[in-house]
């Protein structure tokens, strides 16, 4: 009976042999844990198929390391379809690699040349501490979402779809912002390690819709303040975040966030303290 691992190995072998392979030299950041210092380690990978994704190439490397009794390279992945945002790493100095609007899992090896040296390292930011090798702790994003990435409404049966009219321009802006997958490429690309593009995308996603209006001001205050508390830097309008974003979230969202935050800072009412269940 063929095991799941054997099936996976056969698929990778098929990818290597069905098309002309080439060789690469990898310089991969290795770090045992968050407390120990890391360093770059060089590996040679042969028979790389141009049809492989970058993660599949790392799978091949890890298989060989495991066969040698060595520790495989730790990296995050989940859907491998450019949706979950897990496959976050810096490739040759660019978050997610050289192909614009593409996540690492959707980056194919045809973008690289035979004999090329590829430098692979984790996202670098104070708010994203390294856990092991290429894996970083991005739970700071989760805590930002917890502070305001939701709406508080009483829900019952699903409402009629056309009950609440939404202008198409507003719907388009909300849907464009909702494409943010929370990968953190904006933080890795920013010289200040700012998370403004991520926060502004979440604020725009809810703030452009009628359902998000009651808490719009307080949401802007809470999420921006949480981002500051997490240790992310300030935005200086460099624009590297939008350039590195695999979903091409535009910079205009940051301007919208700044406007909402300033307005909320001046006019928002303080949160009511509930006393005696009231």
Q: Same domain, yes or no, for 126 and 173? A: no
**Mean pLDDT (whole number) for 150-154:** 81
How long, in residues, is the chain?
278
Q: Is the pLDDT of residue 99 over 60?
A: yes
Q: Lowest mean pLDDT: which of 16-20, 56-60, 80-84, 154-158?
A: 16-20
**Mean pLDDT (whole number) for 24-45:** 97
Q: Same domain, yes or no, for 47 and 117? A: yes
**Mean pLDDT (whole number) for 264-273:** 75
Q: Which residue has the higher pLDDT, 152 or 26?
A: 26
Q: Lowest mean pLDDT: which of 6-15, 50-59, 79-88?
A: 6-15
Q: Lowest mean pLDDT: which of 14-23, 252-261, 262-271?
A: 14-23
Other beta carbons within 10 angstroms of residue 195's beta carbon come to 29
Q: Is the pLDDT of residue 14 over 70?
A: no
Looking at residue 278, its pLDDT comes to 45
Provide CB contacts within 8 A for 60, sequence distance 6+. 12, 16, 45, 47, 48, 52
Q: Cα separation of 16 and 51, whole Å?
A: 8
33 touches 127 (CB < 8 A): no
Q: Is the pLDDT of residue 196 over 50?
A: yes
Supply 185's token pair. 């490429």
Q: Cα separation of 130 and 25, whole Å?
A: 23
Q: Same domain, yes or no, for 124 and 169? A: no
77 touches 105 (CB < 8 A): yes
**Mean pLDDT (whole number) for 60-89:** 97
Q: Is the pLDDT of residue 20 over 60?
A: yes
Provide the CATH number for the domain around residue 256.
1.10.1060.10
**Mean pLDDT (whole number) for 111-122:** 97
Looking at residue 272, its pLDDT comes to 58
Query: Domain span at residue 219?
Result: 139-151+165-267
Q: Is the pLDDT of residue 16 over 70?
A: no
Q: Cα separation of 248 and 238, whole Å?
A: 15
Q: Cα separation of 85 and 88, whole Å?
A: 7
Q: Cα separation of 165 and 173, whole Å?
A: 15
Provide the CATH number for the domain around residue 69.
3.10.20.30
Looking at residue 19, its pLDDT comes to 53
Among 254, 249, 252, 268, CA closest to 224: 254
Query: In this predicted model, what pLDDT tens digit does every residue of 226-263 receive, in sequence order?
Result: 999 999 999 999 999 999 999 999 999 999 999 999 99
Task: Decide if 277 is inside a domain.
Answer: no
Q: Same domain, yes or no, for 122 and 217? A: no
Looking at residue 117, its pLDDT comes to 98
Supply 227's token pair. 């981002």
Task: Decide if 272 is inside a domain.
Answer: no
116 touches 57 (CB < 8 A): no
Q: What band does 151 get if pLDDT is binned at 50, 70 and 90?
A: confident
**Mean pLDDT (whole number) for 149-175:** 85
Q: How many domains does the chain have?
A: 2
**Mean pLDDT (whole number) for 151-175:** 85
Q: Same domain, yes or no, for 38 and 121? A: yes
96 touches 84 (CB < 8 A): no
Q: Same domain, yes or no, for 145 and 38? A: no
Task: Decide if 97 is inside a domain.
Answer: yes
Q: Same domain, yes or no, for 8 and 47? A: yes
Assessment of whether the complete model's pTM goes beyond 0.85? yes
Other beta carbons within 10 angstroms of residue 130's beta carbon come to 20
Q: Same domain, yes or no, for 182 and 105? A: no
């Amino acid at each position: 009976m063929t095991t799941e691992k054997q099936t996976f190995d056969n698929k990778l072998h098929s990818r290597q042999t069905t098309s002309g392979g080439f060789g690469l030299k990898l310089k991969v950041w290795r770090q045992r844990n968050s407390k120990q210092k890391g360093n770059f380690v060089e590996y040679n990978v042969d028979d790389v198929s141009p049809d492989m994704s970058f993660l599949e190439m790392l799978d091949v490397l890890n298989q060989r390391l495991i066969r040698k009794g060595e520790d495989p390279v730790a990296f995050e992945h989940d859907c491998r379809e450019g949706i979950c945002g897990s496959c976050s790493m810096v490739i040759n100095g660019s978050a997610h690699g050289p192909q614009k609007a593409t996540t690492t899992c959707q980056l194919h090896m045809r973008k690289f040349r035979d004999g090329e040296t590829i430098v692979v390292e984790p996202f670098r930011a104070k708010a994203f501490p390294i856990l092991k090798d290429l894996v970083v702790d991005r739970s700071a994003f989760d805590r930002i979402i917890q502070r305001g990435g939701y709406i508080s409404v009483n829900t019952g049966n699903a409402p009629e779809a056309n009950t609440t009219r939404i202008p198409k321009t507003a719907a388009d802006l909300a849907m464009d912002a909702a494409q943010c997958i929370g990968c953190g490429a904006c933080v890795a690309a920013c010289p200040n390690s700012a998370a403004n593009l991520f926060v502004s995308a979440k604020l725009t996603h809810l703030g452009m819709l009628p359902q998000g209006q009651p808490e719009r001001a307080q949401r802007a205050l809470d999420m921006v303040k949480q981002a500051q508390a997490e240790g992310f830097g300030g935005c200086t309008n460099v624009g590297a975040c939008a350039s590195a974003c695999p979903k091409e979230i535009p910079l205009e969202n940051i301007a919208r966030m700044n406007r909402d935050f300033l307005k909320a800072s001046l006019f928002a009412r303080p949160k009511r303290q509930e006393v005696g269940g009231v």
